[in-house]
Amino acid sequence: MMGFLIFLLLSVFFFSQGYAQEPETYFRYKEPQFLYEEKCSKCHTLERVFAEPKTEDEWRICVSLMRKKNKFWITEKEGKRIVDEIIGIRKDRVGPFPQKKKYEDAQLLFIDRCTKCHTVIRILNKDRTREEWEETVLRMRDNAPELFLEEDIPTLIEYLVERGRIMRDDVAAQMMVEKCIICHEYDRILLVQKSKEDWAKCITDMRTEARERLKKDWFTRDEFKLIIDLLVKTQGIEESHSP
């Protein structure tokens, strides 16, 4: 009888150990090297976060704006720490940067010329190569020559090549705040990892529920794709493929 009890206890112990090692849906907490890595990469890729250099004041304003979107995800104390980390560690991203005006001027040109006929989401709905952007801009010029001066063409192409992916992630992050975090607590989304297939199912379920409750589409097709792509970049896991 004693031998049976020992065997039973050992079986329960080893079963519980094996069960505890099952992969978790939520991130296992680990102390990050830098707080900005943990906090900022959930709505943006880090490539996007540091794509545009900023002055110290601009970094403070930027982090403050991010806090307002979800004050529970980045507290005031954490916001100060993130700014201190960026200013102290990422010195290559801090300082006066006169070339920013080039991007601002080109962005105004993009909005003035391209969004007269298309939404920004429609334009940025998929990643494009330089050749694809060039083909797109020239086709738009041919369709509406009155909107494009010849000197505008190289500026628009170069801007979209350099900034297209960044603008795409910006649009997707803003939509995620407006469409997802507005209804769910931050840990419902920002602490979860899923495969691309599971994220697609999750967003599809949200679209279906919104249709039933609100009697309207909460996500357009282009918004659907942009949000899934960003979630896979920032909170995706590799799907296991059977050999």
pLDDT 10s digits, 221-234:
888 888 898 899 88
Q: What is the pLDDT of residues 151-173, one digit of tens each?
A: 899 999 999 998 888 888 888 88
Same-domain check for residues 64 and 36 = yes
Per residue in 72-131, pLDDT (tens digit) is 889 999 999 999 999 998 888 887 776 677 778 888 899 888 888 888 888 887 788 999
pLDDT in tens, 54-74: 889 999 999 999 888 877 889
Same-domain status, 111 and 190: yes
114/222 same-domain check:
yes
User: Above 70 in pLDDT, residue 22?
Assistant: no
Q: What is the pLDDT of residue 154?
A: 93
17 falls in which pLDDT band (50, 70, 90)? Answer: very low
Confidence of residue 134 (pLDDT cuts 50, 70, 90): very high
201, 159 Cβ separation under 8 angstroms: no
Same domain, 212 and 110: yes
Residues 22-31: contacts with CB under 8 Å, at least 24 apart? 25/192, 25/193, 25/194, 26/187, 26/191, 26/192, 26/193, 27/191, 27/192, 27/193
At 141, is the pLDDT very low, low, confident or very high (cuts 50, 70, 90)?
A: very high
Give the predicted TM-score (pTM) of the model: 0.61
* Residue 99: predicted pLDDT: 66
Q: Are residues 135 and 221 in the same domain?
A: yes
Query: pLDDT value at position 21?
Result: 38
SS3 142: helix
Residues 117 and 215 in one domain: yes
pLDDT of residue 243: 47
- E strand or H helix that includes residue 197: helix 196-214
**According to the model, what pLDDT value does residue 11 have?**
46
- Specify the number of domains making up the chain: 2
Within this chain, do residues 46 and 111 fall inside the same structural domain, yes or no?
A: no
What's 128's DSSP letter?
-
Using DSSP, state whether 243 is helix, strand or coil.
coil
Select from 174, 237, 234, 199 the least CA-distant residue to 40. 234
Whether residues 137 and 209 fall in one domain: yes
Domain range holding 41? Answer: 31-97
